[in-house]
A and B are shown apart, each in its own frame.
Chain A
Amino acid sequence: MGANLLANYGEAVAMILFAIGFGNLLIQKNLIKKIIGLNIMDSAVYLFLAEKGYVNGRIAPIVVDGVQSVEAYINPVPSGLVLTGIVVSVSVTALMLSLTIRLYMRYHTLNLDEISTQLRKEGL
């Protein structure tokens, strides 16, 4: 168990980071901190994918010097997934930030609970 963890330290770190990001997104009151948590969580998944997709001693699958053997290259799909995932998380982050700006301009606070209290007072 311990030896396995040490050998796969990249994946272990990714899982710890995922937990940190998930916890932040869930628990933090401050909206900006929540968004930071979101980014940590997403990056942890990309680290996990990149770590899983890389094989020691192999190179990116671009044929140079006529080496055709499958053994020489890594699988490019995980990297492709990471790129797609980054695009998704950038757009989601942008949307969250714009919502945060809207809320801040209206209520002058970034604390989600305080915003809820103010809303209840408004009685809308």
Chain B
Amino acid sequence: MDIIRNFPAIAILLCLFAGIFSSGLKEKAAGLVNSCLIVIEIGLNLATLLYTISLGDSFVYVMGKFPAPWGNELRVGVLEALLALFFCVIMFLSMWGGKHKLKDEVDPEKTFLYYVLLDLLLSSLLALIYTNDLFTAYVFVEINTISACGLIMIRQNGRTIEAAVRYMIMSLLGSGLLLLGICMLYDMTGHLLMSNIHEAILTIVAEGQYTIPLLIMIALISVGLAIKSALFPFHAWLPDAYGYSTVSAAAILSSLVSKGYIFLLIKIMYRVVGIDIFRNSHITDILFLFGLMGMIFGSLSAIRENDVRRMIAFSSVAQIGYIYMGFGMGTEAGMVASIFHILSHAATKSLLFIAAIGLTEVSDGKRQFIYLTGSGYRNKMSGVTFTVGSLAMVGVPLFSGFISKLLFSQAAILNHGKMLPAMIVLAISTILNAIYFMKTVIRIYTPVPNSPYPPMDLREHWRYATALFLFIVLNVVLGVFSDPIVRLISNGLAMLG
């Protein structure tokens, strides 16, 4: 089965070619190519995941047969394959769930561009996950940014263009810092491949050289990627970008794009700098602090919000705070919790966006809470799904959010210095989550006699209903069968180091 070793490279190249190919196609054909592409990607990544599990170890794919210090490499372990598979599944469900809205949201003549951008986005995400070369990672970070910006602004109104500009400015600040960090790293070590850099860094640290540049480099890269993934003080662009773009784009942006950067940061922590050196630099404490602040302020902003999609967007800020809090603990348990939360947040947030669109649709397209009253009765499937998503976000057992909160608390208990603040903020944030999500659930299940808006015919929208159903299944699977997934994640982390 050695042919599977080629699958990650094929997966990345296939997306790029599909993007180029789709740019010459009509709307329908481009959509078909996109759907087929994502299905093929799911197959390829599933095969890779099974192969790495059976192999019990990671493997390196050498691009173009140039050996180590010169060539470009992909590195595939269990964790990478798991995340790639998961991202493809989420992307497929988000696309499926938002497809019926697409014709209202995007100019029909430009719809093919939407699919081109999606193909490119997927390729950059896969490349960020699999690459073993820092400069390649930088280039794909930029491709990711550009295609995400295109996805935000493809729905043409003033808000989205402004949001796209704000997103670009923040992203460019982040990638400037990242690029400078990578250049400094190259100057210190003379390598661009992650494994070679790591060896060089170990010698540098052992000899006690370059202590200050090393610290500055770690700070630059962490802050750069934190800005790009919308950690708390850098989230100003996020509510508009997620709130006004097309629904599939919002689901994909919130659940996948920021996670791509976060995973790159994990790889840099483990494979480039080394987790011990990273922890000793105390950058983790800063990430911990900002994570805690994000958890509280994101939820507070969400409570104040009167627009359901912007509320979900603000909740993302809080959830990203959780992930960085896990990094900040600096322990393996914290990291496992963060990675599980990446999965659980991706599954839940895209579900909420897709479900919210069904609720607003039966409320004359209005998104303010006052119009949503009773919409859970008019669109039963969306109501149920939104409730499931809310329960998962709050952390009720059976759903994915419970497991991630459990893992975070366990990790906090193991870390004596940070136990108290982490536990207190977790509790406060859970209560705040419960306030705004339960408020919405009660609102959509408050009956209104003689509602002026017609209910949604689910038979007509079978595709949407199936996507919602699959989202619920995914959430419950993550919540109930979490043990094997957590074991996979810790195995994958061990392979990363």
A binding-site residues for B, Cβ under 8 Å: 18, 21-22, 25-26, 31, 34, 38, 41-42, 45, 48-49, 52, 75, 77-78, 81, 84-85, 88, 91-92, 95-96, 99-100, 102-103, 106-107, 112, 115-116, 118-119, 122, 124
Give the shortest distance, in Å, between B179 (CB) and chain A (any CB): 5
Q: Which residues of B contact A18 (CB under 8 A)?
A: 176, 180
6 pairs from A and B in contact (CB 8 Å cutoff): A26-B173, A75-B190, A81-B186, A91-B146, A102-B161, A103-B158
Cβ-closest chain B residue relative to A31: B165
Tell me the chain B residues, 112-161 only, with Cβ under 8 Å from chain A. 135, 138-139, 142, 145-146, 149, 153, 157-159, 161
Contact among B139, B172, B187, B190 for A25, CB-based, below 8 A: B172
Would A103 and B183 count as touching, CB distance under 8 A?
no
Chain A minimum-CB-distance residue to B157? A124
**A92:B179 contact, CB within 8 angstroms:** no
B161 touches A34 (CB 8 A): no
Question: Digit string of B158-193 for contact with A (CB within 8 Å is 1, else 0)?
Answer: 110110111011001100110110010011001010
Contact A84 B164 (CB under 8 A): no
Q: Which residues in B have some Cβ–Cβ distance to A below 8 Å?
A: 135, 138-139, 142, 145-146, 149, 153, 157-159, 161-162, 164-166, 168-169, 172-173, 176-177, 179-180, 183, 186-187, 190, 192, 244
Q: Besides the contacts A22-B176, A75-B190, A84-B135, what 13 more A-B pairs have beta carbons closer than 8 Å?
A: A18-B180, A26-B169, A42-B176, A45-B179, A45-B183, A48-B183, A77-B192, A81-B186, A95-B146, A96-B165, A99-B149, A103-B161, A124-B159
Given contacts A92-B146, A119-B158, A124-B158, contact A99 B153 (CB under 8 A): yes
Residues of chain A with a CB closer than 8 A to B161's CB? 99, 102-103, 106
Residues in chain A near residue B183, CB distance under 8 A = 45, 48-49, 52, 81
Closest 5 CB pairs of A and B: A88-B142, A41-B176, A52-B187, A99-B165, A102-B161
A55 CB to closest chain B CB (Å) equals 13
Q: What separation, in Å, do the CA atoms of A75 and B159 have in the docked complex?
A: 47
Contact, CB under 8 Å: B176 / A106: no
For residue B192, which residues in chain A have a CB less than 8 angstroms away from its CB? 77
Query: A42 — which chain B residues lie within 8 A by C-beta?
Result: 176, 179
**Distance, CA A92 to CA B192, complexed state (A):** 23
Looking across the interface, which residue of chain A has its beta carbon closest to that of B184? A48
Q: With a CB–CB cut-off of 8 A, which chain B residues contact A41?
A: 176
Instruction: Give the chain B neighbours of A22 by CB distance below 8 A.
Output: 173, 176-177
Compute how far the CA of A42 lies from the CA of B173 in the bound complex, rounded to whole angstroms.
10
Closest residue of chain B to A115 (Cβ to Cβ) is B162
Give CA–CA (A48, B187) in the complex, Å.
10
- The chain A residue sitting closest to B145, CB to CB, is A92
Q: How far is the CA of A31 from the CA of B161 in the complex (A)?
A: 13
In-complex Cβ contact of A34 among B157, B164, B169, B177 (8 A): B169
**B139 / chain A contacts, CB cutoff of 8 Å:** 84, 88
- CA of A85 to CA of B135, assembled, Å: 9
Complex Cα gap A106–B179 (Å): 33
**Judging by beta carbons under 8 Å apart, are A78 and B176 in contact?**
no
Chain B nearest Cβ from A108, distance in angstroms:
12
A101 to chain B, nearest CB (A): 10
B139, B149, B176 pick with most chain A CB within 10 angstroms: B176
* Interchain CB contact under 8 A, B158 and A25: no
Given contacts A48-B180, A91-B146, A124-B158, contact A99 B186 (CB under 8 A): no
For residue B173, which residues in chain A have a CB less than 8 angstroms away from its CB?
22, 25-26
Alpha-carbon gap, A11 to B287, bound state (A): 29
A54 to B405: give the CA distance in the assembly, Å.
51
Bound-state Cα–Cα, A94 to B135, Å: 22
- Considering the chains assembled together, what is the distance between the CA atoms of A92 and B165 in angstroms? 11
Q: A22-B176, A41-B176 are in contact. Are A95 and B157 (CB under 8 A)?
A: no
A122 to B164, Cβ gap below 8 A? no
Inside 8 A of A45's CB, which chain B residues have their CB? 176, 179-180, 183
CA distance A107 to B161 in the complex (A): 11
**Is the beta-carbon distance between A112 and B165 smaller than 8 angstroms?**
yes
Chain B residues with CB under 8 A of A38:
172, 176
Tell me the minimal C-beta distance from A92 to chain B in angstroms: 6
Question: A99 with B159: in contact, given A48-B183, A81-B135, A84-B139 (CB under 8 Å)?
Answer: no
Q: Chain A nearest CB: distance from B137 CB in Å?
A: 12
Residues of A within 8 Å of B168, CB to CB, are 92, 95-96, 99
User: CB-CB < 8 A to A119: which residues of B?
Assistant: 158-159, 162
Q: Given A81-B135, A81-B186, A103 and B162 touching (CB < 8 A)?
A: yes
The residues of A that contact B157 with a CB separation of less than 8 Å are 124
Task: Give the chain B neighbours of A21 by CB distance below 8 A.
Answer: 176
Given the interface pairs A81-B135, A84-B135, the reply to whether A100 lies near B186 with Cβ below 8 Å is no
Per the bound structure, the CA–CA distance linking A121 and B462 in Å amounts to 39
Measured CB to CB, the nearest residue on chain A to B172 is A38
Residues of B within 8 A of A31 (CB): 165
